Amino acid sequence: LMRFPRVLPGYRENTNNSAKEMMKIRQSRLVQCHLLETGTLRTDLLCILSSFLSCFERRDFSGISDVKVCFRERLRNGIADIKADDAVVLFQEMIESRPLPTLIDFSKLFSGIARTRQYDLVLGLCKKMELNGISHNMYTLNIMINCFSRCCKTCLACSVLGKILKLGYEPDTTTFNTLVNGLCLEGKVSEAVVLASKMVENGCQPDVVTYGSIVNGICKSGDTSSALDLLRRMEERDIKADVFTYTTIIGSLCRDGSMDAATKLFNEMETKGIKSTVVTYNSLIGGFCTVVERYDQ
pLDDT of residue 156: 95
- Residue 231 CB contacts under 8 Å (≥ 6 apart), including other chains: 215, 241, 245, 249
| Residue 102 placed within a domain | yes
As a whole number of angstroms, the distance between CA 7 and CA 11 comes to 6
pLDDT of residue 77: 66
Domain region containing 127 = 71-144
- Residue 230 CB contacts under 8 Å (≥ 6 apart), including other chains: 211, 214, 215, 218
Cα pseudo-dihedral 210, 212, 217, 222, rounded to 10 = 140
| Residue 111 placed within a domain | yes
CB 195 within 8 A of CB 228: no
| Residue 97 placed within a domain | yes
| Residue 15 placed within a domain | no
As a whole number of angstroms, the distance between CA 2 and CA 6 comes to 8
| Residue 94 placed within a domain | yes
pLDDT, tens digit only, all 297 positions of the chain:
444 444 444 544 555 555 556 555 555 555 454 444 434 444 445 555 555 554 444 443 333 333 345 766 776 666 777 888 888 888 888 888 888 888 888 888 898 899 889 999 999 999 999 998 888 989 999 999 999 999 999 999 999 999 999 989 989 999 999 999 999 999 999 999 999 988 888 888 899 999 999 999 999 999 999 999 999 999 999 999 999 999 999 999 999 999 999 999 999 999 999 999 999 999 999 999 988 877 766
pLDDT of residue 225: 94
Cis peptide leading into residue 9 (ω within 30°):
no
CB 136 within 8 A of CB 102: no
| Residue 131 placed within a domain | yes
- Count of C-beta atoms within a 10 Å radius of residue 47: 20
How many folded domains does the chain comprise? Answer: 1
pLDDT of residue 57: 45
| Residue 230 placed within a domain | no
As a whole number of angstroms, the distance between CA 154 and CA 67 comes to 43
The pTM (predicted TM-score) of the whole model is 0.69
| Residue 80 placed within a domain | yes
pLDDT of residue 203: 85
